[in-house]
Amino acid sequence: MRKKEGSMSEGLVWLNGEILDFASAKVSVEDRGFQFGDGVYEVVRVYQGKPFALMEHLERLQRSAREIELPLPLSLAELAAAAESLIARAGIAEAELYVQLTRGAARRNHLFPPDTPPTLVMTVRPVRLIPPELRERGIRVLTVPDERWARCDIKSICLLPNVLAKERAHRAGAFEALFVRDGLVMEGTSSNVFAWTGEELVTPIADHRILSGITRSFVLQLARQHGYRTAECDLPLAELRSAREVIIAGTVTELLAVIAIDEEPVGEGKPGPIFRQLYAAYRQMIAERVR
């Protein structure tokens, strides 16, 4: 391994089979990820040095890659083994693993390049921890028009609308932006959304308009296990605004209670009992899985 600067605790890169530090890892300026956003990705949370739901993420990566006609250069078992050894080498207990696959480096041309190996990059970094006070007090969200493309089920690296929306939310003093399309709430810029109506936990159906979140599926599963009714269906913004509780969920976010939407309080304006119960259950599930 080449090592110029930085320490192991700052993270490591796996680039097309080679393990490097961040300063040494370089990708061509002609990489199609850089030129066209022609690629797909995953983010996996590492708890106590162990990746959580790694196979679920790699299977989704495989699906995203298939949808953009980009063959995976490794089998899922090989990818998992490479990811696990990178995580072990990095030696960071609480980390995030990023996996990105692009259509490789070739002279700029919209057409798929023939005989070009894809670029596969994995990085392991200390996780961006959610400040405990946000977990305790809840977060504010901003609603924004959904100006994304029609295949949000593909975890594409083209994240410009998500980046712009998150920045707008931040400038408005909110933690997350929620995309709204035709009066319906879709998802956050990097999270899925749930509304507790008092009777059921509603979340938008995982069709082509949103990413089918892995945390989302755990939240649904845990809610059912705790005896709550769940519904995957249209979620009008008006319904979200009048919900008793609103929760967002994602790999890095885990679960967060939404206490205000566009400055208007949700329910009593503080994290509610459903959030507390589901978050505790999620942490418990992680503890069992990474043991």
Among 11, 161, 250, 271, binds ligand PDD (CB under 6 A): 250
Which window, 69-77, 101-109, 125-133, 249-257, contacts ligand PDD (CB under 6 A)?
Answer: 249-257
Considering beta carbons, is residue 45 or 106 the nearer one to ligand PDD? Answer: 45
Dist CA 190 CA 149 (whole Å): 15
Among 140, 215, 254, 271, binds ligand PDD (CB under 6 A): 215
Those residues whose C-beta lies under 8 Å from the C-beta of residue 194, and which sit 6 or more positions away, are 201, 202, 203, 216, 219, 246, 247, 248, 249
Dist CA 9 CA 93 (whole Å): 9
Q: Cα-atom radius of gyration of the chain, to the nearest Å? A: 20
Which window, 17-25, 28-36, 199-207, 214-222, contacts ligand PDD (CB under 6 A)?
Answer: 214-222
Asked if 26 is an active-site residue, the reply is: no
Is residue 161 at the binding interface for ligand PDD, with CB under 6 A as the rule? no
Do 249 and 213 contact (CB within 8 A), yes or no?
Answer: yes
Among 161, 190, 201, 282, binds ligand PDD (CB under 6 A): 190
Considering beta carbons, is residue 103 or 216 the nearer one to ligand PDD? Answer: 216
Q: Which of 208, 151, 154, 147 is nearest to 181 (CA)?
A: 147
Distances (CA, A) of 254 to 52, 77, 105, 117: 12, 26, 35, 35
Is residue 191 at the binding interface for ligand PDD, with CB under 6 A as the rule? yes
User: Going residue by residue from 33 to 72, which x/- string records binding to ligand PDD, judged by CB under 6 A?
Assistant: ----------x-----------------------------
Q: How many helices (H) and strands (E) does the chain have?
A: 8, 15
Is residue 214 at the binding interface for ligand PDD, with CB under 6 A as the rule? yes
Kindly determine how many residues on this chain lie close enough to bind ligand PDD according to the rule CB under 6 A: 13
Dist CA 282 CA 218 (whole Å): 8
Is residue 203 at the binding interface for ligand PDD, with CB under 6 A as the rule? no
Among 83, 211, 257, 266, binds ligand PDD (CB under 6 A): 211
* Residue among 3, 155, 166, 270 flagged as catalytic: 155
Dist CA 203 CA 193 (whole Å): 6
As annotated, the active-site residues are: 155
Give residues in contact with ligand PDD (CB under 6 A).
43, 187, 190-192, 211, 213-216, 250-252
